[in-house]
């Protein structure tokens, strides 16, 4: 493999796309990253939080340090792109562009290896299990910041819907929390021809699905972004049998702890009330998978200036709208100052490489933005860790 940064990134992206792993099962990617980064002169540590990789480079005499982060895992989706570098792992693919994120960091590693221009230490966090929301916490629990102390962590995600090569960021919450809920309704099943003898959990479930929508419209501040979605309804019934049980599963997105707690409280109250009205039992389990991703203002300023230097001021939006998708980068931001940004892949309504939404079976990362990502990260390192060593 060549070590020219952009060419290396292109080659790495195709290789990583072809060999996706899910969750923590990213050993093949980890081995590949470790081999390339080692050949570039970086010190590599593997096995952080299970299968995470940290590549480290120090220059000059400054004790300052920052981290750049890329996610490693793919999704349990069967690829339908027909690409000549399509997934070799049936039932798994890089449908979210994590292959591109890893490739950008590897290209940045090559850039900084060839022409450092910084004074301090750079750690690159290659993190598994972003999709289930457990990888960042696993690395942190494995003494990530004790072993690799940093002043700040930076990351970015490719985003269809933003013009190709534009960088968007904002202070404060930029991505939402994701909570999950499950409501189990226990009635009394029976023959479909004798509904007067049963306690029908389907009726209760139908009422609940509709009633839960009132949480956003009637219980939360209309100026706050909150999403409550029922996504699954499972029963033990048959075509001619009214079920005994119904399970409703769903997803909640919020930007504040207060709204997360409010939604949980209202789901308990609504489920309990409707269940009781129908003489049925209704129990709720509620879990918090992702916390909101909250950007530190000073880190945002640093990232935005570096991006403007790399891409031009007209290609940077430093006060973008937040989105209701979630990211486990949030775990880093709860530990140290951090900033997460978006790199546009193209307008979805247009034709071209950036037109396909994330998590689609026909998604393929837009390689045209690799150079922009490398330029932004390299510029960030040099501005955050300015080289003041004597020439």
Feature table: binding site for Mn(2+)? 96, 98, 131, 157, 359
CB within 8 A of 30, min separation 6: which ones? 46, 51, 52, 53, 72, 126, 128
Residue 182 near residue 208, CB atoms below 8 Å: no
Nearest partner of 255 among 329, 338, 322, 182, judged by Cα: 322
Which of 96, 85, 87 lies closest to 131, judged by CA?
96
Strands of 152-280, DSSP E: 152-160, 167-168, 172-175, 177-186, 190-191, 227-235, 241-242, 245-254
The answer to whether the CB of 150 falls within 8 A of the CB of 336 is yes
Six token digits for residue 211: 């009633």
Task: Round the CA-based radius of gyration of the chain to a whole number and report it.
Answer: 24
Instruction: DSSP letter for 301, please.
Output: H
Quote the DSSP letter at residue 143.
T
* 337: Cβ contacts below 8 Å, ≥ 6 apart: 151, 152, 153, 296, 298, 299
Q: How far apart are CA 46 and CA 128, in angstroms?
A: 12
Q: How far apart are CA 296 and CA 300, in angstroms?
A: 6
Query: Residue 196: is it exposed, middle or buried by C-beta count within 10 angstroms (0-12/13-18/19+)?
Result: exposed
Measured in whole angstroms, the distance separating CA 132 from the mean position of its chain's CA atoms is 9
Give the residue ranges of the annotated binding site. 96, 98, 131, 157, 359
């Amino acid at each position: 493999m060549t070590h020219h940064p952009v060419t290396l990134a292109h080659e790495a992206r195709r290789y990583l796309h072809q060999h996706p792993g899910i969750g923590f099962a990213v050993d093949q990617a980890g081995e590949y990253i470790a081999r390339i980064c080692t050949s570039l002169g970086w010190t590599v540590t593997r096995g952080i939080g299970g299968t995470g990789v940290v590549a480290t480079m120090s220059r000059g005499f400054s004790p300052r340090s920052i981290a750049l982060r890329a996610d490693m895992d793919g999704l349990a989706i069967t690829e339908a792109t027909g690409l000549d570098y399509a997934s070799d792992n049936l039932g798994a693919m890089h449908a979210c562009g994590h292959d591109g994120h890893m490739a950008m960091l590897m290209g940045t590693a090559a850039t900084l290896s060839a022409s450092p221009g910084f004074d301090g230490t750079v750690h690159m966090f290659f993190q598994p299990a972003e999709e289930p929301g457990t990888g960042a916490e696993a690395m942190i629990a494995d003494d990530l910041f004790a072993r690799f102390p940093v002043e700040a962590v930076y990351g970015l995600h490719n985003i269809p819907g933003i013009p190709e090569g534009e960088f968007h960021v904002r202070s404060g919450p930029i991505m939402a929390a994701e909570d999950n809920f499950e409501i189990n309704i226990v009635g009394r099943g029976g023959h479909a021809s004798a509904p007067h003898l049963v306690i029908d959990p389907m009726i209760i479930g139908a009422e609940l699905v509709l009633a839960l929508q009132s949480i956003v419209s009637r219980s939360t501040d209309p100026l706050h972004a909150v999403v409550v979605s029922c996504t699954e309804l499972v029963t033990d019934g048959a075509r001619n049998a009214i079920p005994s049980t119904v399970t409703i599963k769903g997803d909640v997105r919020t930007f504040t702890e207060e709204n997360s707690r409010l939604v949980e409280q209202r789901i308990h109250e609504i489920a309990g009330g409707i269940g009781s009205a129908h003489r049925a039992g209704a129990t709720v389990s509620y879990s918090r998978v992702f916390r909101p991703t909250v950007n530190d203002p000073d880190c945002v300023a640093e990232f935005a200036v570096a991006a403007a230097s790399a891409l031009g001021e007209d290609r940077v939006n430093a006060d973008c709208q937040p989105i209701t998708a979630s990211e486990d980068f949030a775990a880093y931001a709860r530990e140290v100052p951090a900033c997460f940004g978006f790199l546009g892949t193209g307008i979805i309504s247009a034709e071209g490489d950036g037109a396909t939404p994330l998590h689609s079976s026909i998604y393929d990362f837009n390689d045209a933005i690799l150079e922009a990502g490398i330029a932004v990260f390299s510029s960030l390192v040099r501005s955050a860790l300015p080289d003041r060593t004597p020439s």
